[in-house]
């Protein structure tokens, strides 16, 4: 079952590109749910020629659903420059499409085509090696730019603050400022910080602040940053240093948050893990059985024994739906509950263009659950108005 | 096969009444012969050659009373025994002797109770040509039913061309190769699996299997040896439940595909076999959808107490037909391992 479909992506003509001004997009935004605006197709898409693409409006049970993508990357080149990184540089995973200030039209076209109404933007950390002064400058610049990007299209974008988690007290300040001053909706962090697990008590000031503010913390792994000998096992064909290393880092991060007692100490935390929580939700049974099988390996976490069954904590966390199939979504919902799931696309990395359809096509999932996953859950967590 | 045999109750695992009746598994009115493909054992005389000590007495096959009691209580008719590799560092001479002792002993164990035990040959995979010989001898001379391997060999992936002689032999013989991981030492060294929770096992083991199978797929080993029958422990680790990510990478990062595969990664996932050690009905249901119910065979991990309810796990999994359940409980494994009805 699908909602109203866009007619697919068309080959762009020069005049189409010229037409798609920022003003038009603001109008589309203002038009909101009317959604009849015509937009062109992304420049990157090379598909057979057709007319312009219509904004896809997702409908479930006859009702228009506002869809929210919680896994959408962007970046701020001026901040990258502070770490000597450059957008579009060869050998980096930094395509120009990440740039909000110049590429928002292309991004909006892709969103329109895929049926994404709102993106919750985040920036993958590359600044965890920065000293305090640099980190302060970089994050201030970045969060200001994120706020600007959202303000330019307030009905299409919200954003997670970036924080310098290597300086936990500073990160707590940055989160508070990001939320209160810049209207950002939470924080985005990596799966580890310079080789330290995010369950390390060092990071408690940050977790305490996130809990106190009640905002969502989006965890995105950085497989390549995993400080281990493992990468040598992930060479060769298939990009396993991403395909395996990314879900692995998330699995390790969440496992430590559970087993080291971080989630007991901060029970109000709202955590959303990218890529459907990596491997953990699908394989939660093994986490439950490890300690009974070999109790000696479970001396307790930082605060002694953990309070609940490991898999119970999984049902309190949130996940994107980047599992690539309706069956994957059904399974994830069965493991953690539909109320914990939100659309994720990984834009602009073309992992999927069918995130909405994967949810619509999930077998045996109720319409109410689909609506919650498509947008309802994220709207509540991120303070997005209907 | 005598049914309803009375056996005395073992010291571990089976509590309660002094005599436990052998559980007979019945699906839609039909007695089903159940086979456990994931059952560990040990041969101390072979371990001594590597200076290794027994981890737990329950691995011993010298007295099978306790093991049979557990099998009877759990409704396991046949165990397919395997020995986790600890000999991959052995030189050729030691490896030859160790494997000979081990496979002979495995054959004796199975010969003593032919209706309760079959076994996978152990092979010295660090010497691939020797491993091929050992497998052939194990199957033809000792009546073993396949081979048990680790998930990597002294830091080399199973997909390394060095191991092609072994894979060629396994394919030629048409026997099942059971892959059991041995943690992820590369990750352990960093300390990232330390702390509370046995993550060295709960993450390290499924991770090693995921890496091993991914390489067998992406490096083209399964294209080169399309007749291979491989069974991966612990439900294939993380791979089957998240296999679509392996497909997506072809679209997302084609520049990272350095080789060409004949099929989509998930199609290889559907030709491998997996045990049922995924613990919950929902996980098994998902595995059956992703891999196909005909690719799943029961596992217990005996004597390690990960689960004692493998039969009930299958019986209680939603959306499986009776035929699917019968296949998982024993039918598929009987075909793969040459176990008579």
Q: Among residues B13, B16, B34, which one has the least CA distance to residue B24?
A: B34
Could you read off the pLDDT of A255-296 as tens digits, one per residue?
A: 999 999 999 999 999 999 999 999 999 898 999 999 999 998
Question: Which chain B residue has its CA at the smallest distance from A289's CA?
Answer: B306
Could you read off the pLDDT of B195-249 as tens digits, one per residue?
A: 999 999 999 999 999 999 999 999 999 999 999 999 999 999 999 999 889 888 8
Given a cut of 70, whether residue B45 has pLDDT beyond it is: yes
Note whether B246 and A243 are within 8 A (CB): yes
Given a cut of 70, whether residue B42 has pLDDT beyond it is: yes
* Chain A residues whose beta carbon lies within 8 Å of the beta carbon of residue B190: 195, 226-230
Structural domain contains residue B1? no
A&B contacts, CB < 8 Å: 189
pLDDT at B65: 95
Q: Does B312 touch chain A (CB under 8 A)?
A: no
Give the angle A134-A247-A292 at the CA atoms, nearest 5°: 115
pLDDT band at B254 (very low <50, low <70, confident <90, very high): confident
Structural domain contains residue B160? yes
pLDDT at A226: 55
User: Cβ contact (<8 Å) for A297 and B211?
Assistant: no
* Chain B residues whose beta carbon lies within 8 Å of the beta carbon of residue A243: 214, 245-246, 249
Could you read off the pLDDT of A173-191 as tens digits, one per residue?
A: 999 999 999 999 999 999 9
Rounded mean pLDDT of chain B?
A: 93
In chain B the first and final C-alpha atoms are separated, in Å, by 9
User: Cβ contact (<8 Å) for A228 and B187?
Assistant: yes
Given a cut of 70, whether residue A33 has pLDDT beyond it is: no
Give the phi and the psi of residue B296 in degrees, each rounded to 5: -115, 130
Q: How far is B222 from chain A (nearest CA, A)?
A: 14
Residue B306: give the domain boundaries.
6-337
Q: Does B30 touch chain A (CB under 8 A)?
A: no
User: Cβ contact (<8 Å) for B234 and A286?
Assistant: yes
pLDDT band at B189 (very low <50, low <70, confident <90, very high): confident
* Chain A residues whose beta carbon lies within 8 Å of the beta carbon of residue B189: 228-229
Q: How far is B185 from chain A (nearest CA, A)?
A: 8
User: Cβ contact (<8 Å) for A282 and B286?
Assistant: yes
pLDDT band at B4 (very low <50, low <70, confident <90, very high): very low
pLDDT band at A88 (very low <50, low <70, confident <90, very high): confident
Q: Is the dihedral of CA B207, B210, B216, B217 positive or negative?
A: negative
* Chain A residues whose beta carbon lies within 8 Å of the beta carbon of residue B159: 236
Given a cut of 60, whether residue A146 has pLDDT beyond it is: yes
Given a cut of 80, whether residue A227 has pLDDT beyond it is: no
Could you read off the pLDDT of A328-357 as tens digits, one per residue?
A: 999 999 999 999 999 999 999 989 999 999
* Cα–chain center distance at B74: 18
Question: Which chain B residue has its CA at the smallest distance from A261's CA?
Answer: B196
Given a cut of 80, whether residue A385 has pLDDT beyond it is: yes
Six token digits for residue B291: 């891999």
Structural domain contains residue B38? yes
User: Cβ contact (<8 Å) for A233 and B307?
Assistant: no
Pick B216 or A232 by higher pLDDT.
Answer: B216
Structural domain contains residue B193? yes
Q: Which of B186, B246, B283 sits opposite A233 (nearest CB)?
A: B186
Given a cut of 60, whether residue A140 has pLDDT beyond it is: yes
Q: Does B154 touch chain A (CB under 8 A)?
A: no
Given a cut of 70, whether residue B50 has pLDDT beyond it is: yes
Pick B315 or B186 by higher pLDDT.
Answer: B315
- Domain ranges in chain A are 67-382
Tell me what the mean pLDDT of segment A361-383 comes to: 98
User: Cβ contact (<8 Å) for B256 and A239?
Assistant: yes
pLDDT band at A221 (very low <50, low <70, confident <90, very high): very high
Q: Which of A251, A261, A350 sits opposite B203 (nearest CB)?
A: A251
CA distance B230 to B269: 10
Going by CATH, does the domain composed of A67-382 fall within 3.40.50.300?
A: no
pLDDT at A24: 32
Lookup result for tokens 């302060």: A136
ipTM (interface predicted TM): 0.91
User: Cβ contact (<8 Å) for A238 and B206?
Assistant: no
User: Cβ contact (<8 Å) for A282 and B193?
Assistant: no
Of the residues A90, A231, A232, A243, the best mutation for testing chain B's interface (the one with the most B CB atoms within 10 Å of its CB) is: A243
Six token digits for residue A231: 């990468």
Q: Which of B199, B215, B220 sits opposite A255 (nearest CB)?
A: B199
Could you read off the pLDDT of B98-157 as tens digits, one per residue?
A: 999 999 999 999 999 999 999 999 999 999 999 999 999 999 999 999 999 999 999 999
pLDDT band at A41 (very low <50, low <70, confident <90, very high): very low
pTM over 0.80: yes
Tell me what the mean pLDDT of segment A153-159 comes to: 98
Q: Which of B245, B251, B282 sits opposite A334 (nearest CB)?
A: B282
pLDDT at A363: 97
Could you read off the pLDDT of B52-61 as tens digits, one per residue?
A: 999 999 999 9
SS3 B180: coil
pLDDT at A53: 65
pLDDT at B7: 37
Share of chain B above pLDDT 90, in %: 86
pLDDT at A190: 97
pLDDT at B187: 86
Of the residues B194, B198, B281, the best mutation for testing chain A's interface (the one with the most A CB atoms within 10 Å of its CB) is: B198
pLDDT at B190: 83
Q: Among residues A172, A168, A150, which one has the least CA distance to residue A160?
A: A150
How many domains does chain B divide into?
Answer: 1
Given a cut of 60, whether residue A360 has pLDDT beyond it is: yes
Tell me what the mean pLDDT of segment A355-382 comes to: 98
CA distance B63 to B32: 26
Q: What is the CATH number of the domain that holds B305?
A: 3.20.20.140
* Chain B residues whose beta carbon lies within 8 Å of the beta carbon of residue A362: none
Q: Which stretch of A4-13, A65-74, B315-324 has the lowest confidence by average pLDDT?
A: A4-13
Give the phi and the psi of residue A6 in degrees, each rounded to 5: -75, 155
CA dihedral B138, B144, B146, B152 (to 10 degrees): -60
Q: How far is B285 from chain A (nearest CA, A)?
A: 9
């Amino acid at each position: 079952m699908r909602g109203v479909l866009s007619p697919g992506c068309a080959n762009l003509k020069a005049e189409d590109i010229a037409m798609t001004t920022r003003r038009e997009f603001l109008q589309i935004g203002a038009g909101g749910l009317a959604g009849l605006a015509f937009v062109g197709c992304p420049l990157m898409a090379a598909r057979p020629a057709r007319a312009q693409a219509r904004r896809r409006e997702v409908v479930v049970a006859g009702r228009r659903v506002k869809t929210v993508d919680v896994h959408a990357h962007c970046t701020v080149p001026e901040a990258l420059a502070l770490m000597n990184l450059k957008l579009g540089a060869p050998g980096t995973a930094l395509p120009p499409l990440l740039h909000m200030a110049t590429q928002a039209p292309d991004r909006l076209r892709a969103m329109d085509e895929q049926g994404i109404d709102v993106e919750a933007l985040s920036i993958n950390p590359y600044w965890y090696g920065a000293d305090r002064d640099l980190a302060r400058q970089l994050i201030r610049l970045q969060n200001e730019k994120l706020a600007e990007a959202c303000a330019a299209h307030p009905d299409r974008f919200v954003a997670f603050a970036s924080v310098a988690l290597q300086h936990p007290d500073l990160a707590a300040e940055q989160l508070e400022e990001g939320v209160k001053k810049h209207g950002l909706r939470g924080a985005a962090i990596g799966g580890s910080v310079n080789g330290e697990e995010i369950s390390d008590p060092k990071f408690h000031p940050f977790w305490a602040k996130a809990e106190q503010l009640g905002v969502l913390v989006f965890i995105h792994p950085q497989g390549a940053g995993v400080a281990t000998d493992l990468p040598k096992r992930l060479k060769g064909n298939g990009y396993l240093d991403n395909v395996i290393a990314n879900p692995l880092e998330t699995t390790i991060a969440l496992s430590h948050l559970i087993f080291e007692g971080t989630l007991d100490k901060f029970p109000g935390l709202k955590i959303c893990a990218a890529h459907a929580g990596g491997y953990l939700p699908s394989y939660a049974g093994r986490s439950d059985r490890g300690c009974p099988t070999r109790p000696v390996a479970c001396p307790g976490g930082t605060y002694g024994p953990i309070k609940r069954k490991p898999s119970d904590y999984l049902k309190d966390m949130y996940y994107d739906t980047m599992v690539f199939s309706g069956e994957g979504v059904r399974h994830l919902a069965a493991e953690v509950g539909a109320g914990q799931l939100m659309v994720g696309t990984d834009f602009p990395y073309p992992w999927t263009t069918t995130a909405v359809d994967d949810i619509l096509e999930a077998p045996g999932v109720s319409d109410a659950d689909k609506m919650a996953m498509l947008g309802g859950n994220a709207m509540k967590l991120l303070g997005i108005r209907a | 096969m005598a049914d309803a045999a009375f056996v005395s109750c073992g010291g571990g695992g089976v509590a309660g009444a002094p005599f436990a009746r052998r559980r007979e598994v019945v699906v839609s009115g039909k007695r089903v012969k159940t086979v456990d493909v994931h059952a560990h054992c040990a041969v101390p005389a072979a371990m001594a050659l590597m200076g290794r000590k027994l981890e737990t007495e329950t691995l011993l096959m010298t007295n099978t009373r306790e093991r049979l009691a557990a099998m009877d209580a759990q409704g396991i008719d046949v165990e397919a025994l395997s020995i986790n590799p600890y000999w991959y560092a052995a030189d050729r001479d030691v490896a030859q002797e160790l494997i000979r002792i081990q496979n002979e002993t495995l054959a004796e164990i199975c010969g003593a109770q032919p209706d309760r035990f079959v076994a996978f040959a152990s092979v010295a995979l660090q010497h691939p040509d020797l491993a091929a010989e050992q497998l052939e001898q194990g199957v033809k001379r000792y009546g073993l039913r396949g081979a048990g391997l680790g998930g990597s060999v002294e830091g080399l992936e199973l997909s390394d061309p060095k191991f092609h002689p072994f894979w060629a032999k396994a394919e030629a013989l048409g026997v099942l190769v059971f892959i059991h991981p041995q943690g992820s030492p590369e990750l352990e060294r960093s300390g990232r699996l330390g702390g509370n929770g046995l993550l060295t096992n709960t993450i390290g083991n499924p991770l090693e299997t995921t890496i091993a199978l991914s390489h067998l797929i992406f490096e083209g080993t399964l294209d080169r040896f399309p007749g291979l029958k491989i069974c991966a422990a612990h439900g294939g680790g993380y791979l089957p439940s998240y296999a679509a990510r392996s497909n997506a990478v072809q679209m997302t990062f084609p520049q990272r595909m350095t080789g060409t595969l004949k099929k989509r990664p998930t199609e290889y996932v559907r030709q491998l076999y997996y045990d049922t050690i995924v613990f919950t009905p929902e996980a098994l249901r998902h595995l059956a959808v992703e891999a196909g119910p005909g690719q799943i065979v029961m596992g217990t991990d005996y004597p390690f107490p990960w689960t004692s309810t493998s039969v009930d796990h299958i019986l209680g999994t939603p959306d499986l037909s009776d035929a699917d359940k019968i296949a998982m409980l024993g039918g598929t494994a009987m075909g793969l391992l040459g176990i008579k009805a």
